[in-house]
Structure 1
Amino acid sequence: MKVLVILAHPNIEKSIVNRKWIEELKKHSNITIHELYKQYPDEKIDIEKEQKLCEEHDRIVWQFPFYWYSSPPLLKKWQDEVLTHGWAYGSEGNKLHNKELILAVSTGSTKERYQAGGRNNYSMSELLKPFQATSNLIGTKFLPSFVFNGTYSSTDEEIQESAKAYVNYILARDIFE
């Protein structure tokens, strides 16, 4: 299985969790790491190149830090420009059908803050529903997200463990087992 990780982190050099995840991902030859902010510092996305990259992989991972209950802006722009009618959706838009989509998300706040009654009032599952709706529209199989909460208070050991767990998760043949 070929895995494409589309990383959308506007400041990866200062990231602790996402940078550690990328370091761990680089150890695996069947994972392609595609860093949007490095590839497109001018935000001028090569749509054909991006579509071809997606077509060449079986599983697509959108990796990002959780920003204002969504993704960083370049991933949203990528979705707006790459997931076009006639390619990703519509009567002839079937290029992503039957591919798998996973979100890999890091949050600064703890898991307890992302639940009913918590500071943010909603679970991560609820807050990530727009991504699931996108997956439904483009015909991908939306797999459970990999979420790492509490980056502000995590130890180096917890972050390293999360990196290994993340790689194992996205390489798993059947995530539902």
Structure 2
Amino acid sequence: MSRPPLILLAHPQRAHSRINAEMAQAAQAAGFNVRDLYALYPDYLIDVPAEQSALAAADLVVWLHPIHWYGMPPLMKLWLDEVFSFGWAYGPGGQALQGKHLWLATTTGGPESSYAPGGYNRHFFDAFLPPYEQTAALAGMQFLPPLVLHGAHRAPADAVQAHVDVWVQRLQTWPDWPELADIDTPLCEVPADARPQE
């Protein structure tokens, strides 16, 4: 039986968030564990053992954050740098996350039409996902198809509610997602001499 998901919320301005905050509240109301990184670490001093312990207790890890300059917000990146450590998350002996699922739930300011060759972001949204996919692969995790709401600033209330409903429904039905059978993430072996000894 799968253990409950771990949801990591990383929104630098949660008080001004329309959608990420509502998604976090809906997940909490449904009984899921949400760790608000900006509330936990306003000084950016991350408790790595506590975060690794939380990860160890989950089979599904969810990153809930808005897209900032085509990637994750700064505290989420620092969290990743420090928590997914060499010898723990990857590299020799780094098997703590192998077999877990990683799911990105995110929002963009730009509309979906801006994420296309003719739009001002010049690429489809999937073009910005390889760092997430490779992070999962390096840690031996399966990267699940992300949940994305484009144009978050201007999304009408009914679209936001529909998105939140899908979000909660997906959390409640994981791991019974039909698309999981088609996901195959390669295992990336990092040799022992890939990094100098410290």
TM-score when scaled to structure 1?
0.95
Cα distance in 1 for partners of 2:24, 2:35 equals 10
Query: Displacement, 1:108?
Result: 1.0
Aligned 8 A contact 1:3 1:171 in 2: no
Decide which structure has the larger Cα Rg and report it: 2
Query: Where does residue 57 of structure 2 map in the other structure?
Result: 56
Structure 2 counterparts to residues 117-156 of structure 1, below 5 A: 117-156=118-157
Other-structure match for 2:89: 88
Q: Please identify, of 78-87 and 154-163, the stretch whose mean Cα deviation from structure 2 is larger.
A: 154-163
Does 1:22 find its partner at 2:31? no
- Rounded to whole Å, the distance in 2 between the matches of 1:121 and 1:92 is 40
CA-CA distance at 1:78 after TM superposition: 0.3
Aligned residues: 176
Is the partner of 2:7 in helix, strand or coil?
Answer: strand
Q: Is 1:4–2:6 an aligned residue pair?
A: yes
CA deviations on 1:101-142 (whole Å, 9 max, x unpaired) are 000110111111112222101122111111111111011111
TM score, norm. by length of structure 2: 0.86
- Give the Å deviation of 1:66: 0.5
Q: 1:99 aligns to what? A: 100
Query: What SS does the aligned partner of 2:154 have?
Result: coil
SS in 2 for 1:79: helix
Gapped regions of structure 2 (runs ≥ 5)? 181-198
Query: Which residue identity does 2:140 align to in structure 1?
Result: G
Higher relative contact order (CA 8 A, sep 6+): 1
Alpha-carbon deviation of 1:39?
0.2
Distance 1:170 1:121 in 2: 32
Note if contact 2:7-2:33 (Cα within 8 Å) is conserved in structure 1. yes
Contact 1:98-1:139 within 8 A present in 2 as well? yes
Amino acid at match of 2:14: I
Aligned equivalents of 1:115, 1:93: Cα separation in 2: 37
Judge conservation of contact 1:25–1:167 (CA < 8 Å) in 2. Answer: yes
Structure 1 position 109 matched with structure 2 position 105:
no
> d(CA) in 1 for partners of 2:139 and 2:74?
20
* Alignment partner, residue 168 of structure 2: 167
Report the alpha carbon displacement of residue 170 of structure 1 after superposing the two structures with TM: 3.1
Deviant stretches of 4+, over 4 Å: none
Cα separation, 1, equivalents of 2:171 and 2:116 = 24
| 1:13 match | 15
Q: Bigger shift: 164-173 or 154-163?
A: 164-173
State the superposition RMSD in angstroms.
1.1
d(CA) in 2 for partners of 1:137 and 1:109?
30
Q: Given residue 96 of structure 2, which amino acid in structure 1 is its aligned partner?
A: K
